[in-house]
Amino acid sequence: MDKVSVHVEHPFDPVWNSESKILILGSFPSVKSREQMFFYGHPRNRFWTVISTLLGIETPVTTEEKRAMLLNNHIALWDVIASCDIYGSADSSIKNAVPNDIGFIIENSKVRHIFTNGTTADKLYKKYILPATGIEAVRLPSTSPANAAKSVEELAKEWAVSSLRNGFANRYSLDTEYLKILNLNSPDYTILNWIAVLVEHRLFSINNPAAQRAKRYLIENFGVNVNAYDLIIGYRADDSYFDFAASFLNNGISVQQLASAMRLGKLGEQIVVKSKYAFSLLHYEGFSIAEREKYYVLRKARNDEADQLYSKMLEEATDGLYMLDIMRGGIRNDDPRIPRNVSK
């Protein structure tokens, strides 16, 4: 049975007052949030835990406690979208969106910095609201259950780094001479081997039956047994790149577009230290300070360029292979149309 979107109006007001200094924007309330009539109501969304961790206080439980925590710390909270057609809580299904007017908050408060919670909120902000406000938003990792592979500590650290603060880069050394290494970026593997490992071992929400079938097909036909390996090398899979994988599963982009999208931003390889033995060989060598004056500008420029190239790529016609084509054609790993060697 096909899933049907319904038109939904944002059912509750923003949290803010005249003393608010920063504004955090989500995309649109989930079903749980709409039921509870307040932000981030899903029990597995880490928003309230992340914010309280950053502030060094206990995580609030009641709506009143959450509202008080925000206002006492000069934080405003709202969503980009005022109404839209949506299926359940799936941001990817949002259509016919009407944005909220956040100008009233900015004009009547001390808000000068805007942060977006995840890639979808960031894209919607840039499309609908940035032209009116002129305030560039800082995209933060999503606190959604779909981003559950990140720990609360990791999310808190990434949320703590912005245009206002320096960051830190830790350095480690690892002797790999006797380690078994799976390099998914070698010509022996295709991009679908990489995405099969990704969807099998990372947690994210797949509500669309077609996407669930796509996930099963990828694991069955392109999956790689990672049990015997100490290290896994693959393309970096942060929040925005994870969205590319979700778009592919939902038949939104072709496998050729997926391969191109994974190179946007030039984030390079990600190395997963998997076994206890490999961890025992890992040595901390120190850290470097990433000065915000230099590195925030570089990060923002890279993200902006990647977003522009991705939007341009989506506008171009393509006759490439989509997930539905791959399943219908029974396509396997040896098909020459599937790109190999993801990282360049």
d(CA 170, CA 321): 40
pLDDT above 70: percentage of residues in the chain: 80
Confidence tier at 1 by pLDDT (50, 70, 90): very low
Q: What is residue 150's predicted lDDT score, i.e. its pLDDT?
A: 52
pLDDT at 69 over 50: yes
Confidence tier at 58 by pLDDT (50, 70, 90): confident
Residue 110 vs residue 267, higher pLDDT: 110
Work out the end-to-end distance of the chain between its first and last CA atoms, rounded to an integer number of angstroms. Answer: 42
Closest CA to 260 of 244, 271, 237: 244
pLDDT tens-digit readout, 324-337:
999 999 999 889 88
Task: Check if the beta carbon of residue 222 is closer than 8 Å to that of residue 165.
Answer: no
Q: What is residue 242's predicted lDDT score, i.e. its pLDDT?
A: 66
pLDDT tens-digit readout, 134-172:
898 988 888 876 555 555 555 455 555 555 667 766 778
Residue range 83-93: average pLDDT?
80
Residue range 240-252: average pLDDT?
75
pLDDT tens-digit readout, 274-302:
999 999 999 988 876 666 666 666 666 76
Q: How far is CA 244 from CA 135, 141, 158, 223, 318, in A?
A: 26, 15, 21, 18, 16
pLDDT at 308 over 50: yes
Structure tokens at 147: 């981003």
Residue 93 vs residue 278, higher pLDDT: 278
Q: How far is CA 169 from CA 6, 139, 159, 303, 324, in A?
A: 45, 19, 15, 19, 41
**3-class SS letters over the chain:** CCCCCEEEECCCCCECCCCCCEEEEECCCCHHHHHHCCCCCCCCCCHHHHHHHHHCCCCCCCHHHHHHHHHHCCEEEEECEEEEEECCCCHHHCEEEEECCCHHHHHCCCCCEEEEECHHHHHHHHHHCHHHHCCCEEEECCCCHHHCCCCHHHHHHHHHCCCCCCEEEEEEEECCCCCCEEECCCCCCEHHHHHHHHHHHCCCCCCCHHHHHHHHHHHHHHCCCCCCCCEEEEECCCHHHHHHHHHHHCCCCCHHHHHHHCCCCCCCEEEEECCHHHHHCEEEEEEEEECHHHHHHHHHHHHHHHHHHHHHHHHCCCCCCCHHHHHHCCCCCCCCCCCECCCC
pLDDT at 212 over 80: yes
Measured at the CA of 315, the angle between CA 314 and CA 318, to 5 degrees, comes to 70
* Displacement of CA 15 from its chain's centroid (Å): 24
Residue 53 vs residue 51, higher pLDDT: 51
Query: pTM for the full model?
Result: 0.52
